[in-house]
Structure 1
Amino acid sequence: MNQTGHAAENRYSVDIDAPSSVDDLLEKHMDIMRWLNSPRMNTAEWHRLLQAAPRNIEDLLATEGYFSPTIEQSLETSTEGNTTRNRAKFTVQTGDPVTVQEIDIRFTGDITNQASGEKPEPAQLIENWSLKQDMRFSQDRWSSAKRGLLSGLVLQRYPNAKITNSKAEIDAASNKVKLMVEIDSGAPFRFGGLEVNGLQRYPRSLVENINPIKPGETYSQARLLFFQSELQASGYFNNVEVTSHTDNTDPEAAPIVVNVTEMQSVQVGIGVGASTNTGARTTLTYQDLNLFNRGWRFTNTLKIEQKAQSLNSLIRLPTDKNGYRDSFNADLNRLDIEGQTTSTLGTGVKRSWGPRSFEQTIGAAYLLEHVAIDGSESQNNYAATISYGITLRRIDNELNPTRGYLFNALFTSAPLDVMANGKFLQSYAKTQAYYPLTRKTQFITRLEGGIVSGADNAPATYLFRAGGDQSVRGYAYQSLGVADGDAVIGGRYLVTGSIEVIQWLTESWGAAAFVDFGNAANNTRDLKPVYGYGLGARFKSPAGPIGVDIARGQETGEYRLHFNLGVTF
């Protein structure tokens, strides 16, 4: 490597001949390299830096575990006209790196009297020590190992833990180092009461009921972060910070401190867009986050699309003290797809509970439906239903998952003839799995299925069709189902799936190849899958993955554009 600088009629340059493992370190951090282009560089400063350079190199190499380097220095001076050129060269041999010979980790404080089986366990902390015996020593690794050891205490039970003594004894002759760390755990802490700051519009109970931490619970940073994420996800706050006071406080009752910045309670929005499923879209939204001054969330949404129109009203109550999340809805919808026009009026109630990793719901709903099929008589249906659903989320990242799986199952029943056209049970399940084949190659698979058992005249809303962005790409939205003249209507059976491989070309952009399959039918004999396959582009956005695909339907021979945003679970 070579760097050149100049001042007045003197020009200065430095060559460093060193192994590639330390070349960048020396180029960036040697004092003489940083001064080359300084206007203050002169002959006196040049010679001062040259004299200090060998020691400077030794200090930098020591941070990477090299304590016996060989350094050769040479200097050339030449004159061309009015310009004097000064060139220095450093040839560096690092020698053998220092490796860890012994590790001595000592604990003091209350952790030495901790009951057996309580976490964090000193033996486990020592086991997790990252700078193992015979590993190459470096200052970064040494510092990282100490931070990791301290974090093991600070994040759980002992928030005031501190390193009281540490040293690395280096034997340059044998290239070995002995490490010693002494850490004082301090007192174990438990959580106490709740302090809430920043509430003006919403009731304090809104925060209290979301709080998963009970007084007397062992201190855990992970629990504070979980509480913070739940508050942020509630939709009431622009900003949330959850901490605990552990200085000059009772270790048996460390207060939990919540600082929030509230969102405006009334919000009005308008949006335009397009879907490759239902066409151009205009959306109007009115939202009141504090209905009746009780923290009830009232959302009214008018959506007008080319193939679908809807007016939806939803009231969501804050999480109660038992962790239940209740909601009420009323919907008016019209969908004109594949020769079938379905108009519905519905209302319902739902209760959800559990964390996002294992969420459960029960609900009750009433539906009035009018169905018009091209070339057939229109039909009116109605049904009072009850439902139960579960959703499992086991993924490494909610927005852009790379590993894990998602699973959703929903069972909806019309149990009484007197309150429906006929009794029926709709069973539906969907799963999606993510697996990294390599650091840059990702495998995604999806499978969904559904069955409607019972009455042959179940409302069309509860029957199944396939095709479109989130179903079988290469086919029009809900174009796969039961043929009825020139129309396609829903069937009692559904199976769809997908296999996809994404090759990430950069941290944010990738290319995808996929094969989709599936169909809907009224009996298993007719449930013959059709296939779609294609290529696409992927982008990791802050709102989740964005996908644009070109897919060919093998059955039709047609190519279709598909657009996807986010993870639909």
Structure 2
Amino acid sequence: MPFTFPLRAAAMCLCLVGVSLPHSGTAAEALLTAPGAAPELQQRLRDASSALAAAPQTDAQELLAAALSDYRTLVQVLYDAGYFSPQVNILLDGQEAARIQPLNAPSQIASLRINVVPGPSFRFSRAEITPWPKNSDVTPPAEFVTGAPATTGVLRDAGAAGVMAWRRAGHPKVRLAQQAITANHRAHTLDARLTLAPGAQLRFGRLKLATPSAVRAAAIQHIAGLPSGEIYHPDLVARSATRLRRTGAFSSVTLRAEEQPNPDGTLDYIAGVEDMPPRRLTFGAEISSSDGIELTTTWMHRNLFGGAEKLRFEARLSGLGSSNDIDGRIALRLDRPATLGPDDNLFYLAEAERLDEEHYTATQGLGGIGVRRVYSDQLFAEAGIGFNSILATDAFGKRRFKYVAGFLRAEYDRRNSRVDATGGYFLNARLTPFLGLDGTDDGLQIKLDGRIYHGLGSNDRLVLAARAQLGSVIGPSLGNTSPTLLFFSGGAGSVRGHEYQSLGIPIGTSSAGGRGYLSLSTELRGRLSDKLSLVGFFDIGYVDSDAFVSGSSASHSGAGLGLRYDVAGIGPLRVDFAYPVEGGTDDGLQFYIGIGQAF
């Protein structure tokens, strides 16, 4: 006897107490057929069926239970696809599963046959959701209109859109009060009327804490910046939660509203936070044939004084195993969240660095103070001022430079992944105006870095990636500029296939960095498997003694192939082999090993 399922169906519950069925010795033969159904719908039915998944096992009791649960599961799949008069038969050894007495189940099951007749597809004879807020920036789904295919998914989306529209209008306690849904099986139509209960428009109240934290309660409230007194908006709640997560002091942050608003029309929120371990230690390493080995380490305290202050210590050693002497850097940075406002961090930094580069050596120390403003998850900016003292030896001799330097940096990141992007773009700009002391010249340094990614093919198996880097020093002459402000080309960060800093401005028998710089890189990344990718790349770089490059600027280029092996939680391990295309080099093939994409 066929089993049909009207829109309103009764629920049946079967309870088995203390019954154990014997095990069969063979797996059941399983088959699902859905005549007239589209291939996509047939696949969805197969994927949803618990009985098909359970058929290979040998326990008849579990197979019967799975078959009984499939009636509701398969009907729901059909409802979601717009079929409201389905017929579902599930036969176990030729007997309808729903007619098998649970206490008298067979000891073994040899065959499972599921037959699904979807029936006609339904359309909306009426699609109505009321009331709707005026001037809302949310609209009902385009599919929720009279004459459109009727599915439970569209009904859910329409209800969710209505709730979101009222929440964005300041009504956090809105609910779906009534669903009047009637199916006309003769006309194959669905009459859907959804009624919303908006509730009162409310304002934000206080932020309370639900769980203890090593971060002071007052600091959590200040960092969250919940706008007490303002009309409720879900984006403001999400922004407060994001501010707390951004500190890095918490592994989990939740903000939930109180069940009942206050008599004065405000709604309090409760913050639940879980602390991260207060300290973190990391290590990194990179090796190239020209630059040698670079080792880095960072140590961080996430809650130094109890207000989610973050202290970060960084150390670097590079040039290990290369022809150059060892470089080193030590840096400290202290960030204090919400110092000037909920989205503004005040930071202090101090740094000492020893550079032994190909064409110059320098020892520098700097200290400064600045502020960081976060505008969104994708955009932030920093500005600050500090003092920098540099003792350098280069093609122009040994000199000391002293600067009072400001800086302005902005970053906009629209990549879909920070470690292995397949789409989007990235922009970073830094302006460093500097005022010279004790005879040092004034000027401005500009650095720009832009990257773009575009996926091709199914699942972005091919990715085109491009990068442009521009640098310029405006103001002082080449000989009166600290070499730490000038630009060279060559190496892993610019033009692969050429030695590190191999392209500069000839000064007698030596070279100096240029005041103008441009580097262009392109990559074609092809995924060979879920873990392994092959990359082809081409890089070209320009350096000029003037502030901006031109067609007559010195240039070189390189090309090569690379492999990437994706490691979960880390990103791709990178190996690149590059050879010079233009511009002389005596070292021939260069190789580079690191973590993450080249850009």
Query: Could you tell me whether the CA contact under 8 Å between 1:547 and 1:563 is conserved in 2?
Result: yes
The aligned amino acid for 2:237 is: L
Change over 3 Å in CA distance of 1:157–1:403 after alignment to 2? farther
Q: In 1, distance between residues paired with 2:562 and 2:544?
A: 29
**Equivalence for 1:103:** 127
Q: What is the Cα deviation at residue 492 of structure 1? A: 0.6
CA RMSD of aligned residues (A): 4.2
Report the CA distance between 1:74 and its aligned residue. Answer: 9.9
Does residue 455 of structure 1 match 2:476?
yes
Q: Match for residue 350 of structure 2?
A: 330
1:257 aligned to 253, 256, 270, which one?
270
C-alpha contact (below 8 Å) 2:59/2:108 kept by paired residues: no
> Retained in 1: the 8 A contact 2:143–2:149?
no
Contact 1:399 1:567 (8 Å CA) reproduced: no
Change in CA separation of 1:230 and 1:529 when aligned onto 2, cut-off 3 Å: farther
Pick the aligned partner of 2:183 from 149, 170, 173: 170
CA displacement at 1:25 relative to structure 2:
4.8
Match of 1:415 among 415, 431, 435: 435
Aligned equivalent of 1:498 = 521
Structure 1 residue identity aligned to 2:350: A
Q: Which residue of 1 aligns with 2:578?
A: 551
Amino acid at match of 1:125: T
1:308 is aligned to 2:339: no
Q: Percent identity?
A: 19
Report Cα offsets for 1:294-344 as digits up to 9, x if no partner. Answer: 765433333223242112222333331435422222222122222432222
Distance in 1, matches of 2:169 and 2:252, equals 25
Give SS of 1:125's match.
coil
- 1:343 corresponds to which residue? 363
Contact 2:286-2:593 at 8 Å conserved across structures: no
Structure 1 residues 140 and 409: CA distance shift in structure 2, 3 A: closer
Shift of 1:405: 3.2
Q: Secondary structure at the match of 1:142?
A: helix
- Deviation digits for residues 31-50 of structure 1, max 9, x if unmatched? 875785564469xx89xx89
Seen in structure 2, the aligned counterparts of structure 1 residues 466 and 241 have a Cα distance that, compared at 3 Å, is: farther
CA distance in 1, matches of 2:589, 2:271: 56
Change (3 A) 1:412 1:314: same
Q: For 1:184-333, list aligned pairs within 5 A.
A: 184-196=197-209, 201-204=214-217, 206-250=219-263, 252-263=265-276, 265=278, 267=279, 269=281, 271=283, 273-276=285-288, 278-283=291-296, 285-289=298-302, 296-305=309-318, 306=320, 307-322=326-341, 323-333=343-353
Distance 2:217 2:384 in 1: 28
1:101 deviates by 3.4
Distance 2:45 2:303 in 1: 60
Cα distance in 2, alignment partners of residues 251 and 505 from structure 1: 62
Equivalent in the alignment of 2:10: none
- Counterpart among 466, 478, 493 of residue 501 in structure 2: 478
Gaps spanning 5+ residues in structure 2: where? 1-21, 95-106, 321-325
Contact 1:302–1:311 (Cα < 8 Å) also in 2:
yes
Distance 1:285 1:84 in 2: 62
Show CA shifts across 1:479-511 (max 9, x none). 332244665431111111223344456677654
Say if 2:402 is the partner of 1:383.
Answer: yes
The residue number in structure 1 matching 2:83 is: 66
- Report the CA distance between 1:202 and its aligned residue: 4.1
Query: What is the TM-score with the length of structure 2 in the denominator?
Result: 0.75
* 2:173 equivalent among 137, 160, 176: 160
Q: Distance in 2 between matches of 1:9 and 1:460?
A: 80
> For the structure 1 residues 559 and 566, does the alpha-carbon distance in structure 2 shift closer, same or farther, using more than 3 Å as the test?
closer
In structure 1, what residue type is equivalent to 2:246? A
User: What letter corresponds to residue 270 of structure 2 in structure 1?
Assistant: V
In structure 1, distance between residues paired with 2:29 and 2:310 = 68
Query: Given the superposition, is the C-alpha separation of residues 475 and 173 from structure 1 closer, same or farther in structure 2, using an over 3 Å criterion?
Result: farther
Asked whether the 8 Å contact 1:340–1:487 carries over to 2, the reply is: no
Give the distance between the partners of 2:90 and 2:338, measured in 1 at CA: 71
Contact 1:106–1:181 (CA under 8 A) maintained in structure 2: yes
2:33 to 17, 40, 61: 17
For residue 428 of structure 1, the aligned residue among 435, 444, 447 is 447
2:176 alignment partner, SS class: strand
Do the aligned partners of residues 519 and 26 (structure 1) sit closer, same or farther apart at CA in structure 2, a change above 3 Å counting? Answer: closer
Aligned-pair CA distance for 1:460: 0.8
Is contact 1:17–1:92 with CA below 8 Å preserved after alignment?
yes
Secondary structure at 1:554 match in 2: strand
Q: Contact (CA 8 Å) 1:371, 1:380: kept in 2 or not?
A: yes
Cα drift, residue 190 of structure 1: 1.9
C-alpha distance in structure 1 between counterparts of 2:504 and 2:241, whole Å: 45
Amino acid at match of 2:470: G
Stretch moving more, 147-156 or 342-351: 147-156
Inter-CA distance 546–282: structure 2 relative to 1 (3 Å threshold):
closer
User: Structure 1 CA distance, aligned partners of 2:213 and 2:47?
Assistant: 52
TM-score by length of 1: 0.79
Provide the residue aligned with 1:399 in structure 2. Answer: 418
Does residue 534 of the first structure (1) align with residue 560 of the second (2)?
yes
Native 8 Å contact 1:209 1:320 kept in 2: no
SS in 1 for 2:338: coil
Relative distance call for 1:537 and 1:218 in structure 2 (3 A) is farther
Helix, strand or coil at the partner of 2:139:
helix
After superposition, the Cα gap between the structure-2 partners of 1:316 and 1:142, relative to the gap in structure 1 and judged at 3 Å, is closer
> What runs of 5+ residues in structure 1 fail to find an aligned partner?
1-5, 78-82
Residue range with higher mean Cα deviation, 559-568 or 423-432 = 559-568
Amino acid at match of 1:64: A
Distance 1:57 1:199 in 2: 46
